[in-house]
Structures are given as structure tokens and as C-alpha cells.
Structure 1
């Protein structure tokens, strides 16, 4: 059996609730190192998993026994840490958004190629059962031509999720670069690209900071996106859905309407124009809410890409394309105009 030795860089909530438990469940993985600028966090996980603790990621990267790392740092560090890791000969699973600019994303992709290492971005929405089935339905032509969509990802904010609560780096533009659009919206751009099998070519958006006090990043955004073939729709990303989480997507098509994660009992619903309907209960989508911490399958795909020496399903190029939609939306809001992607 292949054993991939993994280090975790950044020991906050995304590492605690997603990366670490999913690595621990993977029979091909041994977690050997943890790093965090708050030493107590790194040491707590190191003690739990009989691993080494670091406060400087450069020292962790000097550990030659480490094959791969997860980069779970604030957004502004995603590119520099990932590039350093790739140059140190480590495979990299980087949290989203992968970078703060197209140039940073390109540098990450180049570092992976130049050093012959895997780079995967932690977009998990592709692996949700309802979304995987929806892609096959769209590809089959069962719905006919897709005309439009609406998608949303919103919850009450990272203070209820982050290890640092109200003082989280999520609210600091210098560390986060981007708010709800990078935390939630970029997941949906990746999902939409995956589902329709097309790239977006234009974006228009309103992006606001209105819900969170002492925040320097966006917390509410509504975007209009247009694809290559002319599919148009809206994407909402918000940290102000205070009554509960919304992670739904709806497609309006020639032969009917398909609803994903829009019903508490059925994760995929199709209402056809001819009066027929389908209801599918395919399991729950990942959520930040208590008791909803299901396997995202991100780590599984990352490790499989290393073991089987294949391109990760959300490689650097895919992460860059999803990021660029969000960057265009920010540019649109700032310039009050439609932006070509």
C-alpha cells in the first residue's frame, strides 16, 4: 500500500473540520506534520496524531519525508505558500480561492509544472452527489437547451465558523483580499462551469460591505453571468443569511426546471414542461452547520491523483478559471460596467 506523508499548513477551522479528518480516514495517508503561527494549535494536532509541530511553514517544507501538503492559510498566503511547497517538491492541495490575482494563479500553475507536482484546489461542490447527477443529466440533453440559472451560497458569516470568531482574518482585506465572493461565490463559479461545461465570458455585479461591522471585505454580492453559448443567470454570495444556510442552484431549460439542494427532502428535483416530475434524495450537501460535516471527497481525489499519477479533477487551471469569474465580478462592481472575462 502506498503511504503519502502529509503536512497541514494552517490549523484553523477548515483544517480541523475538513482536511485533517479526511486525511485521517484515508488509508493511503499518514499525517506527519502540522504548522500554524499559533503554536498551541499546531502542537495540539501534532500530539493527537503523533506528528511534528511547526510555527514556520518554511521549516515544515524542509522536512524531506513530507510528500504533500494542504495549504489552509488566509487567502493572501495561498499563492506564496503553495509555490514554496511546490518548489520544495511537495504536492499541494490549496484551499479556495487559490490566489488573489490571475498572475499569482499562473505562478502556482507554473511551479507545479516545473517541479512535476500535483496542484489541486479545494472546490468540493463538484463532488456533491446531486451536482454530479445534474451534470450527467445536462450532458445527456434530457433537459434540452439550458436558458438560465440562479445559484446562491449564503450563511450568517465566518465568525460562526472560523477558529478566531469575530476577530477572524476573513474580515481583514490585507489577509483575506476578498470576502463572501472568495469564501462562497468562487465555489459556485466552479460548480456552474462544471455543470454547464462552458466558460463564462461576461460578468456584471453589485458587491457590497453592508452586514459586518469592522469588516474591510465584501459580505453581499449579486452577479449576472453570461456563458459562451449565451446561458445567463445570477449568482449570489452572502454572509448575511441569518436564518439559515442557502446552497441552492436552479436551472431553467427547454424541457423543464431542475432544482439542486433547494428542498429539505430531495436534493435534486426536475419538473418537466410536460407535467412529469422526478424527485431524488441523494444525501446532504456539505455544510458549516453543526452535525453537517460530511466527507467532501476533496482529499480523496487529491490523494488518488498522486497515487495514480493523474491530473487532479480541480487542477490549477480549473481553479484559475473559477477565480477569474470572481475577479471580473469585482472589477464590474468597482467600475460600474460589464466586464469581459
Structure 2
């Protein structure tokens, strides 16, 4: 079994705490040959990586790289993925694929032209408790009445500091790096919000959906399909919510409540639940920054004796990132179809767009209501 040669672009938290340790443990499948980042020396020493650089081009051009792991911040996902594809490399792209539909289209076009593959890193969808246990139990619900997606992730910094991975955070960024980052982000924001004047509130919403929200929307879509519509959204940073409308197997409408946010309470409350007439199924994720925490599925149902029955199941203790990278190997080496492909990830961006449009419509309605209220007040005064 030949190991895939990996080049890393971006060695921040997700690389140091997650991907590099997992790649090291899966050394029969992967060999990390080169890393690009300011913290490259720390990572090279810690994970025995022979070559280091601060130029992504060195990674793309390396003859010792089969697949590039793009682990940078969102605004660099598009240019680095395209550059890697043009250099003839496969790409493991951390979620989100990117922040706008046009940007996704450019990545997809580059992928199709190159003949190489892009695997988008939605690790929750590869957890055995999800693929084996949760989906099996949900399939037995004949009539879905309601669903709920919650992701209150708590303070990630606390979980990382106590994970035993000893992350190094660099702040000495090269001159002009901040300006380039803002320039790329502004292009994505303009594309995401259809060229409108962009507010800080819109920027935060876009970044949030791309980060924490992308996990939940992607998982929701695999379980329930693509939503018919969105009834409403609530944008109150740092918490966001929405009501999405679906149809069950019988064509009957039901809704799914999406709620997510980040506070300082050290509790990782991330779960997805599906409610049927006689059965409820929930999958609960724990922090991925502490390795080995179990992902459990809980079923509550009315049994044949008319009793309330509860059972808890655990598909595997293997963490979702390890399972995901095993799947990546199968896809790149043995030709298995990529579930979290670029075309798949594009569907999440379309849902984000539906949420933006609903939010903007709500804002217009609220403005009109305020004007009518003011006019009514003026009439009453006369």
C-alpha cells in the first residue's frame, strides 16, 4: 500500500491540533513531505517534516507532493486550490469550500479542467456514528414531523489548550498580508451579497456560516435533502438561527430549526435531531479538538408495549477526522466516489444564499413596517 505524499499549506489550529497528528498516526497511508506556514519550523520538528517554506508555490510545484491540504483561512481557499489543481495535484480542502457561489464555480471549473480531485473536509459527515448508526435509525422514521440542528460550540480556545497538542500561534505576519486578506475577503463578500453595500453585520454572518454554520448545513442537507424554502432567519451576532422548510417521504411539509452560536460557556452542544410520530433520533457531537471523545446516537421511541424506550449507541470510538482521512485515501487511490465533493459543497453555498436573501427581505419589510407605524402615529396625532 503506497502512501500518498502530502503538502500542507497553512499550519494554524486545525493543522496543528487535528490534521498533522492524524496524518502522523496514519503514516501507512500518508507521508507529509513539505509544509508552508509561519509556524512551519515548529510543525516540521514536531511532526518530522523534512521541507519547510513560506511560499505556497513551493508546495504546488514540489515533485514530492500528490495531494495538497489547503488549511488556510477561507479567503485563500480558492486561489490555493486552483493553483494546486493547475500544478497537477489533488486537493484536500478544509470546509468551507469558499464563501461565494461564483468562487465555488471557479474552483469547480479548475477541477474539471485538471482531471484531479477536490475533497472538501466536512468531517462530521464521515463519523461512523453518523454514516452507520444515525442514518440507519432515521431511515426507519416513516413520517418526519420536525428536525432540529443546534451547534453551540463554546470557547474553542479552552478545548484546544487542554487537548495536549500545544499549538503555537504566530502573529508576525508578512508586510501586506492583512491587506491582501481584506482584499480577497471583500471580493467574496461582494459576490455573496450580490454587489450590495456590505456592512460589518453581513461580513460576520458570511464568515460564521462559512465556519461553524457550514458543518451544520452540510449535515442537515445530507439527512433531509435540499430545503424547499426558508421561512425566516435571525441574525444577532454571535448567535444565528433560521427555519428551513422540507418535505418528508409522503410529500408532507415539515420544518427544521437551525440554531448556532459561540459563547464562553465550556460546553460543546452540537447535535442534530429528527422527530417522527413514534420515534426521535439524535446524534450528538463533542469537541473535535479533544481527540477520542465519542459521538453518540440516542433513540427515544414508543415500543410495542406502549412504553417509552430510550437507547444510546456509539458506532465507533475512531474520531471523525481519522475516518475522514481514511476515506480520502480510498477516494484518491482506489477511485471511490467523493461524497463531500465540490459539487456537493456548492449546494451549501446555495442554502447560504437563500438565507442571505431571506434576511435582506426581512430587513426591507421591517423598514416598511416602521414607516407605516410612523405614518399611523402622525395620523393619530392629527
The residue number in structure 1 matching 2:323 is: 297
Q: What is the aligned partner in structure 1 of residue 106 from structure 2?
A: 107
Give the unaligned 5+ runs of structure 1: 210-218, 287-292
* Distance change (3 Å), C-alpha of 1:200 and 1:113: same
Query: Among residues 233, 237, 253, which one is paired with 2:276 in the alignment?
Result: 253
- TM-score, length basis structure 2: 0.74
Q: Return the TM-score normalized by structure 1.
A: 0.82
Moved more, 149-158 or 256-265: 256-265
Larger radius of gyration, structure 1 or 2? 2
Q: Does 1:202 align with 2:221?
A: no
**Structure 1 position 156 matched with structure 2 position 184:** no
SS of the equivalent of 2:99 reads: coil
- Name the counterpart of 1:215: none
- C-alpha RMSD of the superposition: 3.1
Secondary structure of the 1:281 match is: strand
Q: Do the aligned partners of 1:301 and 1:313 also contact (CA within 8 Å) in 2?
A: no
| Structure 1 residues 93-242: aligned runs within 5 Å | 93-132=92-131, 133-139=133-139, 142-157=140-155, 160=158, 164=169, 178-196=206-224, 198-203=225-230, 204-209=232-237, 219-229=238-248, 230-240=253-263, 242=265
Change in 2 beyond 3 A, CA 1:283/1:22: same
* 1:265-304 matches, cutoff 5 A: 267-273=296-302, 274-282=306-314, 295-304=321-330
User: Displacement of 1:147 after TM fit?
Assistant: 1.6
Decide whether the 8 Å contact of 2:294 with 2:314 is kept in 1: no
The verdict on how the C-alpha distance between 1:265 and 1:101 changes in structure 2, with shifts beyond 3 A counting, is closer
| Structure 1 residues 265-312: Cα deviation after superposition (integer angstroms, max 9, x where no partner) | 9922222244342412316899xxxxxx76442222112111102322
1:63 to 1:306, Cα distance in 2 relative to 1, 3 A: same
Check 1:309–1:284 CA distance in 2 against 1; reply closer, same or farther (3 A cut).
closer
> Number of aligned pairs?
315
Q: How far off is 1:58 after superposition?
A: 1.5
Question: Which stretches of structure 1, 4 residues or longer, exceed 6 Å deviation after superposition?
Answer: 165-169, 172-176, 262-266, 283-286
Unaligned regions of 5+ residues in structure 2, if any? 161-166, 186-202, 287-292, 365-382
Deviations 1:220-247 (A, max 9, x none): 2111112254331111121125241111
